[in-house]
Structure 1
Amino acid sequence: MHYAFVGLGSLGGHLAGSLLRAGFAVTVSDLERTRAEPLLAAGAAWAENPASAAAAADAAITCLPSPAASAAVAPQLFESLRPGATWIEMSTNEAAEVARLAALAAARDIATLEAPVTGGVHRAATGEITVLVGGEATTFEAHRPALEAMGGEVLHMGPLGSAALIKVITNMLAFVHLVAEGEALMLAKQGGLDLAKAYRAIAASSGNSFVHETEGQVILNGSYDIGFTLDLACKDLAFAAGYGRSLGVPLELAGLTGGTFLRARAQYGGQAQSTQVVKLLEDALGSELRAPGFPARLTG
């Protein structure tokens, strides 16, 4: 199949690269052509805008930073995609918004899949990220080879909207864990423990988590470089709060975590790394969480 891929940010560029490595024909488009250069060198075609990218494609994939961006781009794709084509939304989006856009697509006989990813940018780079899919089973099967090229584990969660919900749940948990990670490491430091040894002890204990094993490392390095911003974290936590209200679930920990992330964004700016939420504690105590031997970036 020929895929159009729109949105070549930290995630999108890696996902499109995985499609190319698997032998798919890919036409890419982004507001910044420089992001496409490695993909063009690997064999991708370039399109100046989303509509042009979709014109010859069997399916169009979007991986964009906000629901507003998806709302602007998706109708352009629908104008150019042929009847029987598919739109695959890989952005983190709200279920209601995906459903609204899917209705626009269906009016033109275009199918929709939602396929947000989770597991970190470093896993997208190696094609091992988890892909969470919502939509009709037949449409999912038609695009399974492409989805499996981009991800290590591909989970069909159910109908449209189910993937949006589980993606927000996984991110909500990660952000709660991230705040807890900062508190745990600071408690270890203020208690006089060697932070490298504390890291290994937590990793080998019942307190371990994916966030500890990954984001804990770049915190201890001091780079904080996880490829995910405070703006994106605040957006996802707002999605979680919305689901909590609509489904009648009191999200106390998520609410506290959301407030912490909002304070971090106000302090460090929306484009700061999401891991810099722990700097609130570092700055408050005048004590940095650092240890030798940890990487500046995660690679696998």
Structure 2
Amino acid sequence: MRLHFIGVGKMGLPMALHLRAGGADLSVSDNDSTRRALAAEQGLSVASDTALVLQQADGVFSSLPHDAALLKVAEQVATHARSGSFWVDTSTVSLTASAQAAQICTGVGIECVRTTVSGNNKMAEAAQLTVLASGPRTTYDRVLPLLQRWGPNQFYLGDAEQARLMKLVINLMIAQTSAMLGEALTLGRKGGLDWHDMWRVMGASAVASPIVKAKSAQLSERDFSATFTVNQMVKDLDLILGAASENQVPLPQTALTRQLMDAARAHGDADADYAAIIKATERSAGLPT
């Protein structure tokens, strides 16, 4: 199968590598020359003419940063890809932009599967992503063997934008977990509990969710280097609050978490891990960070 992958960033590159490892005849493209060079270093074929490779591909994959990029790629795919081919997009974007992008392509005979993924770049590299898919069921069944290259779990959720919404639901819970940790750890630290002790006890307690366990080794050493940045979480929280507004769902706690992310950004943590919201809460309690 001949495939083309658009957007080989921190998530897209390992996903593309797994497709290639599965035997696909794969080419890639990216607007960033640094990412193109890194893809070439990993042995991927970097396309010099995206329009040409789209014409030749059986399917297109993409991993994109925002709505505008998604809609631009939708126009590229609709203009150059063959009728009867498919487009699998993995981006976290708004429901409105996703529906618009799908309409652009289905109008010219290209089926669109929305396949958001749950997990960070380390999980992508280890093929441990959870894939959330929606779109035409027949096309999902066609691409499922490819999606299985990314991780052990795939969920088909419906024929439209359900995968995009499910990703926002999950990211809402991840963001709120970081806000919860901020309050709990700040209370404990201000009251005299040892930072390392708190992480050890939480990891053995009823609150030891997979996300808490995943963060514990890094954060117990107060290492806030990013797997997913504050800025990236702000983008997702804005998408979450937008979807809530469209559906008339009040999310007061999520709105407060969004403000705390701004507090983290104001103190220079925009490119730190989103868990830097913990430091924002500590500052509000008069603790050094």
Taking structure 2 as the reference length, the TM-score comes to 0.92
What RMSD over aligned residues (CA atoms) do the two structures have, in Å? 1.9
Q: Which residue of 1 aligns with 2:121?
A: 121
1-structure distance, mates of 2:191, 2:88: 49
| Residue type of the alignment partner of 2:154 | V
* Contact persistence 1:4–1:27 (CA under 8 A): yes
| Residue type of the alignment partner of 1:106 | T
Give the superposition deviation at 1:216: 3.6
Q: Which residue of 2 aligns with 1:287?
A: 288
Q: Which residue of 2 aligns with 1:266?
A: 266
2-structure distance, mates of 1:21, 1:196: 40
* Contact persistence 1:177–1:209 (CA under 8 A): no
* Contact persistence 1:115–1:133 (CA under 8 A): yes
Q: Which residue of 2 aligns with 1:96?
A: 96
Aligned 1:132-171 pairs, distance under 5 A: 132-171=132-171
Q: Which residue of 1 aligns with 2:20?
A: 20
Give the superposition deviation at 1:235: 1.5
Give the superposition deviation at 1:112: 0.2
Q: 124-133 or 192-201: which moved more? A: 192-201
| Residue type of the alignment partner of 1:140 | Y
Give the superposition deviation at 1:41: 4.3
Instruction: Give yes or no for the alignment of 1:189 onto 2:189.
Output: yes
2-structure distance, mates of 1:68, 1:204: 43
Give the superposition deviation at 1:201: 1.4
1-structure distance, mates of 2:34, 2:199: 38
| Residue type of the alignment partner of 2:231 | D
Give the superposition deviation at 1:145: 0.9
* Contact persistence 1:178–1:211 (CA under 8 A): no
| Residue type of the alignment partner of 1:190 | K
Instruction: Give yes or no for the alignment of 1:250 onto 2:250.
Output: yes
* Contact persistence 1:181–1:216 (CA under 8 A): no
Give the superposition deviation at 1:49: 5.7
Cα distance, 1:252–1:49 mapped onto 2, change above 3 Å: farther
* Contact persistence 1:133–1:154 (CA under 8 A): yes
Q: Which residue of 1 aligns with 2:175?
A: 175
Q: Which residue of 2 aligns with 1:44?
A: 44
* Contact persistence 1:46–1:53 (CA under 8 A): no
Give the match's secondary structure for 1:101: helix
* Contact persistence 1:218–1:226 (CA under 8 A): no
Deviation string for 1:188-226 (max 9, x for gaps)?
Answer: 222332322321211222222233112343233333233
Taking structure 1 as the reference length, the TM-score comes to 0.89
Deviation string for 1:153-193 (max 9, x for gaps)?
Answer: 11111112000101001001100101111222222222332
Give the superposition deviation at 1:115: 0.5
* Contact persistence 1:28–1:53 (CA under 8 A): no
Deviation string for 1:10-54 (max 9, x for gaps)?
Answer: 111111111122222211111223324454344421113643442
Give the match's secondary structure for 2:206: coil
Deviation string for 1:264-298 (max 9, x for gaps)?
Answer: 2233264333222222134443434xxxxxxxxxx
Deviation string for 1:50-74 (max 9, x for gaps)?
Answer: 4344232111111011111111222
Q: Which residue of 2 aligns with 1:109?
A: 109
2-structure distance, mates of 1:199, 1:125: 26
Cα distance, 1:255–1:146 mapped onto 2, change above 3 Å: same
2-structure distance, mates of 1:50, 1:221: 44
Q: Which residue of 2 aligns with 1:60?
A: 60
Q: 104-113 or 243-252: which moved more? A: 243-252
Give the match's secondary structure for 1:55: helix
1-structure distance, mates of 2:147, 2:31: 24
| Residue type of the alignment partner of 2:102 | A
Give the match's secondary structure for 1:115: strand
Dislocated runs of 4+, deviation >4 Å: none
Cα distance, 1:226–1:151 mapped onto 2, change above 3 Å: farther
2-structure distance, mates of 1:277, 1:121: 20
Q: 219-228 or 96-105: which moved more? A: 219-228
Q: Name structure 2 gaps, 5 residues minimum.
A: none
Give the superposition deviation at 1:4: 0.9
| Residue type of the alignment partner of 1:287 | P
Give the superposition deviation at 1:141: 0.6
2-structure distance, mates of 1:82, 1:21: 25
